[in-house]
Amino acid sequence: MLKLGVNIDHVATLREARYRGRAHGEPSPVAAARQCEAAGAHGITAHLREDRRHIQDRDMWQLREVVRTRLNFEMANEPEIVAIALKMKPEIVCLVPERRQEVTTEGGLDVVANELALTETRKRMNEAGIEVSLFINAIPTQIQAAAFVGAQFIELHTGRFADHFAEAAEREAELERLIAAAKQAHALGLRVNAGHGLNYENLPLIHRVPHLVELNIGHSIISRALTTGLTTAVQDMLGLMQDYRG
């Protein structure tokens, strides 16, 4: 069964637009997480950025208390955030690149250039009972490096596939890269997640990518929730995923 992790960052983005710097405000990402779980989501994803642009520390600690499925803590490999994760003990962390000027994460980690640092963090997380995923582009050398680091998962960056979805040739080329990457990762003993830019239109084609464990989807679900409600938005996405055979 293909699992759905709902990223709730954009719920916090909406709250921060009005309540930035305050210890309260709406909408609540924690309440959204609980509703997503009740609707059938298999996990909750939240990214505690260094600049705290959306998710705040208090959100993460409250999520740790209320999430009953699987808490996926997205994070940069930075000492302050690593320390928080080790203390919080989510079920899994996903290490991502982070640039202050980007609106959202724009690409995958350069694992090749950061093998030693990532290996050290991976060891510390695993020793604390936390699984580790690396968010990477579908590039063979990066997948090989992820296996060398010892990560349990990779999360394939599907942004280029999503960006080129309307262009048949480019879409097919990106999809073939994802298929090859998933096969390579599986052969190396890595479990495979995917995410970034996935939505209700392009998700059915992702069924062609083998060995997927979980899709992490946020913006599209939160956007649809504005008109359908969050429960329906989550269930609609789950409906699109139910025929995946891996």
Residue found by looking up tokens 């890595």 in the block: 190
Q: For residue 70, what pLDDT is reported?
A: 98
pTM across the whole model: 0.95
Q: For residue 107, what pLDDT is reported?
A: 77
- Choosing from 47, 54, 157, 164, the catalytic residue is 47
Q: For residue 102, what pLDDT is reported?
A: 47
Q: For residue 231, what pLDDT is reported?
A: 98
Please state, as a whole number, how many other Cβ atoms lie within 10 Å of the Cβ of residue 155: 30
Q: For residue 100, what pLDDT is reported?
A: 54
In DSSP terms, 155 is beta-bridged to 135, 193
- Choosing from 157, 164, 196, 214, the catalytic residue is 196
CB neighbour class for 115 (10 Å; exposed up to 12, middle 13-18, buried from 19): middle
- Choosing from 74, 98, 131, 155, the catalytic residue is 74
Cα angle 140-171-197, degrees, rounded to a multiple of 5: 80
44 phi, psi to nearest 5 deg = -125, 130
Tens digits of residue pLDDT in 183-206: 999 999 999 999 999 999 999 999
Q: Are 96 and 74 in contact (CB under 8 A)?
A: yes
Q: Alpha carbon 170 to chain centroid distance?
A: 24
Low-confidence ranges of the chain (pLDDT < 70): 99-106
Tens digits of residue pLDDT in 143-170: 999 999 999 999 999 999 999 999 999 9
Q: For residue 99, what pLDDT is reported?
A: 65
- Where are any strands of DSSP class E within the chain? 3-7, 43-47, 71-75, 92-95, 131-136, 153-157, 191-195, 212-217
Q: For residue 207, what pLDDT is reported?
A: 98
Tokens, residue 179: 């298929």
Q: Where are the domains of the chain?
A: 3-241
211 as an active site residue: the answer is no
Q: For residue 103, what pLDDT is reported?
A: 47
Residue found by looking up tokens 């642009």 in the block: 53
Domain 3-241: top CATH class: alpha beta
53 phi, psi to nearest 5 deg = -70, -25
196 as an active site residue: the answer is yes
Cis bond upstream, residue 29 (ω within 30):
no
Residue found by looking up tokens 């989807």 in the block: 217
74 as an active site residue: the answer is yes
Integer Rg of the chain from CA: 17
